[in-house]
Amino acid sequence: MIVTSKELYKIAQEKNFAIPAANYIDALSAAAHIEVAEKLNLPLILEFAEAHETLLPFEDGLEIGKYYAEKAKVPVVLHLDHGTTKEKIFQAIDFGFRSVMIDASSYSFEENVKRTKEIVDYAHLRGVVVEAEIGHVGEGEEYDDQENNNNIYTTAAEAKAFVEATGVDSLAISIGTAHG
């Protein structure tokens, strides 16, 4: 059953638990993530990243995610992770994804606000939740090379100004962590 992350975040906050977000790159990984969530009777954020279209055509990724999320017996947020192009993000929204991430963090603060606001306006009209990123959330390899580490920490003032300017629902910030 597909739900929005706003619904799940409220439940998670009330019951004091975290919701795993698992990226899938094919039908097997999507099915496995759903199977584990169902065995544990816990909600799941099922994510397809725009960058994964090198492994799976974008449209196929949307189809696979929607298929498994709709038939799940637990609440599933169908999420486009790290969307970088307006066209792909709009496509995911129009296809039925209930949550999207606009990652314009490589742009200036002002350009990031502009790009994010455009996604927020489109998504909110359709009941879709939007996540954005400011600063730079590093990748694990970057931490091995301290001289070329380009992590940019997010300040509280930047986060507040960004949310106020965009109306975004959630925010990925840089606090020195790495993923990917």
Active site residues: 81
Name the DSSP letter for residue 149: -
Cα distance between residue 41 and residue 102, in whole Å = 29
CB within 8 Å of 157: residues ≥ 6 apart = none
Q: Return phi, psi of residue 25, to 5°.
A: -125, 0
CB atoms under 10 Å from CB of 100, counted, come to 27
d(CA 164, CA 113) in angstroms, rounded, equals: 10
Beta strands in 73-159 (DSSP E): 76-83, 99-102, 129-133
- The radius of gyration computed from the CA coordinates of the chain, to the nearest angstrom, equals 16
**Angstrom distances, CA of residue 9 to CA of 17, 54, 57, 94:** 9, 31, 30, 23
